[in-house]
Structure 1
Amino acid sequence: MKKILVPTDFSETATGALHAAQEIARQSGGTLHLLHVITPVIMPTATLDTTMGYNYSDPAVEQVMTRQLIEQAETQLQELAAASPVPVQTEVRLDQVTAGILETAEQTGAELIVIGSQGEGGTLFGSTHERVVRHSTCPVLSIREAKGRFSPQHIVLATDTEEHTPDIAPAVRQLQQLFGARLHVVTVRTASEAEEHTLQERLRTYAERHHLQDAALHVVTDEDVEEGILHFIDRQRADLVAMTTHGRSALVQLFSGSIAENVIHQGHRPVLTLHIEA
Structure 2
Amino acid sequence: MKKIIVPVDFSEFSENALKVAATIAKKYNAEIVAVHMMGLSTAVLTKDSSQSMEGMFYMKLTQKRFEEFLDKEYLNNITVHQTVKNFAVFSEIDDVAKEFDAQLIVMGSHGSSGLSEVFVGSNTEKVVRSANTPVLVIKDDASFDVKTAVFACDFRDESVVVFSKAKALFEKLNIEVKLAYINQPGDSFMSTSQIEQRIVNFLVQLKGAPILPEAVTIYSDFTVEKGIFNFAKRVKADLISLPTHGRRGIAHFFSGSIGEDVVNHSTLPVLTFKM
Which category of TM-score, normalised to the shorter sequence, fits these structures?
0.7 to 0.9
Q: 1:172 to 1:128 in 2, by over 3 A?
A: same
Q: 1:38 to 1:84 in 2, by over 3 A?
A: farther
Alpha-carbon distance in 1 for matches of 2:76, 2:217: 39
Equivalent pair of 2:152/2:241 in contact (CA under 8 Å)? yes
| Aligned: 1:173 with 2:167 | yes
Q: 1:265 to 1:212 in 2, by over 3 A?
A: farther
2:123 alignment partner, one of 114, 118, 128: 128
Alpha-carbon distance in 1 for matches of 2:67, 2:122: 25
- The amino acid of 1:189's aligned partner reads N
Equivalent pair of 1:27/1:178 in contact (CA under 8 Å)? no
Q: What is residue 151 of structure 2 aligned with on the other side?
A: 157
Matches for 1:22-37 after TM superposition, within 5 Å: 22-37=22-37
Alpha-carbon distance in 2 for matches of 1:255, 1:128: 20
| Distance apart, 1:267 and its partner CA | 2.8
Equivalent pair of 2:104/2:135 in contact (CA under 8 Å)? yes
Q: 1:83 to 1:23 in 2, by over 3 A?
A: closer
Q: Deviations over 1:59-116 (max 9, x none)?
A: 1552353134233234235524983443222222233252552321121122211111
Query: Which stretch of the first structure deviates more once superposed, 135-144 or 86-95?
Result: 86-95
Equivalent pair of 1:22/1:84 in contact (CA under 8 Å)? no
Q: Deviations over 1:90-144 (max 9, x none)?
A: 222233252552321121122211111239xx99x97221111111111111111
Equivalent pair of 2:91/2:131 in contact (CA under 8 Å)? no
Q: 1:27 to 1:166 in 2, by over 3 A?
A: farther
| Aligned: 1:6 with 2:6 | yes
Query: Which stretch of the first structure deviates more once superposed, 110-119 or 70-79?
Result: 70-79
More helix by share: 2
Alpha-carbon distance in 1 for matches of 2:7, 2:153: 28
Q: Deviations over 1:234-266 (max 9, x none)?
A: 211211111111279xxxx89955433343233
Equivalent pair of 1:38/1:95 in contact (CA under 8 Å)? yes
State which structure, 1 or 2, has the greater radius of gyration over its C-alpha atoms. Answer: 1
2:178 alignment partner, one of 184, 205, 215: 184
Equivalent pair of 2:125/2:263 in contact (CA under 8 Å)? no
Alpha-carbon distance in 1 for matches of 2:17, 2:36: 13
Alpha-carbon distance in 2 for matches of 1:138, 1:247: 12
Q: What is residue 194 of structure 2 aligned with on the other side?
A: 198
Equivalent pair of 1:239/1:269 in contact (CA under 8 Å)? yes
Query: Which stretch of the first structure deviates more once superposed, 166-175 or 10-19?
Result: 166-175
Query: Which stretch of the first structure deviates more once superposed, 253-262 or 34-43?
Result: 253-262
TM-score, reference length from structure 2: 0.77
Structure 1: gaps of 5 or more residues: 45-56
| Aligned: 1:75 with 2:71 | no
Equivalent pair of 1:139/1:168 in contact (CA under 8 Å)? no
- The amino acid of 1:206's aligned partner reads F
SS of residue matched to 2:9: coil
State the identity as a percent.
Answer: 29
Q: What is residue 243 of structure 1 aligned with on the other side?
A: 242
Equivalent pair of 2:136/2:272 in contact (CA under 8 Å)? yes
Alpha-carbon distance in 2 for matches of 1:225, 1:83: 38
- The amino acid of 2:180's aligned partner reads V
Matches for 1:13-92 after TM superposition, within 5 Å: 13-40=13-40, 58-59=50-51, 62-76=54-68, 78-80=70-72, 83-92=75-84
Equivalent pair of 2:2/2:29 in contact (CA under 8 Å)? yes
Equivalent pair of 1:176/1:182 in contact (CA under 8 Å)? yes
TM-score, reference length from structure 1: 0.77
Structure 2: gaps of 5 or more residues: none
